[in-house]
């Protein structure tokens, strides 16, 4: 199973109280064009990409970080600095997958040595 969290406030967004039928309602306003979201037939979409965390923090269950993904044309228009500065939107944790055992380096033995096992 893969679980995760996305911090929508890492997009260009405003959190504010708005008057609703039953009183004040806390809302999150996310501009579509400013965030490079796209309108599809069934919704408004944010493309994401996940990168494996090479050196996870001790005690963290996070296995991947999530950033916004862009099509080739949009990526090519961005500088390397712009691409690297894109905010981390959230994280993912993969559970139920056995972790790989670390393999110790091969030991070289002379013909006179006993086997290490």
pLDDT in tens, 6-56: 999 999 999 999 998 889 999 999 999 999 999 999 999 999 999 999 998
- Please list, in sequence order, all residues whose beta carbon lies within 8 angstroms of the beta carbon of residue 68, skipping any fewer than 6 positions away: 11, 35, 36, 46, 47, 48, 49, 86, 89
- Taking the C-alpha atoms of residue 67 and residue 84, their distance in angstroms, rounded to an integer, is 10
Confidence of residue 84 (pLDDT cuts 50, 70, 90): confident
pLDDT average, residue stretch 53-72 = 92
pLDDT average, residue stretch 60-80 = 92
End-to-end alpha-carbon separation of the chain, Å? 37
pLDDT at 111: 59
Among left, alpha and beta (phi > 0; psi -120 to 50; other), residue 36 is: left
Maximum average pLDDT range among 3-12, 81-90, 92-101, 103-112: 3-12
């Amino acid at each position: 199973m893969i679980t995760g969290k996305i911090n929508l406030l890492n997009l260009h967004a405003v959190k504010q109280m708005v008057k609703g039928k039953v009183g004040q309602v806390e809302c999150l306003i996310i501009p579509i064009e400013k965030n490079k979201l796209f309108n599809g037939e069934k919704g408004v979409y944010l493309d994401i990409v996940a990168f494996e965390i090479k050196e996870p923090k001790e005690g963290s269950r996070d296995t991947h970080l999530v950033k916004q993904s862009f099509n080739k044309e949009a990526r090519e228009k961005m500088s390397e600095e712009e691409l690297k500065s894109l905010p981390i939107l959230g994280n993912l944790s993969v559970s139920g997958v056995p972790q790989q055992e670390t393999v110790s380096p091969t030991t070289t033995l002379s013909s006179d040595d006993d086997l290490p096992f």
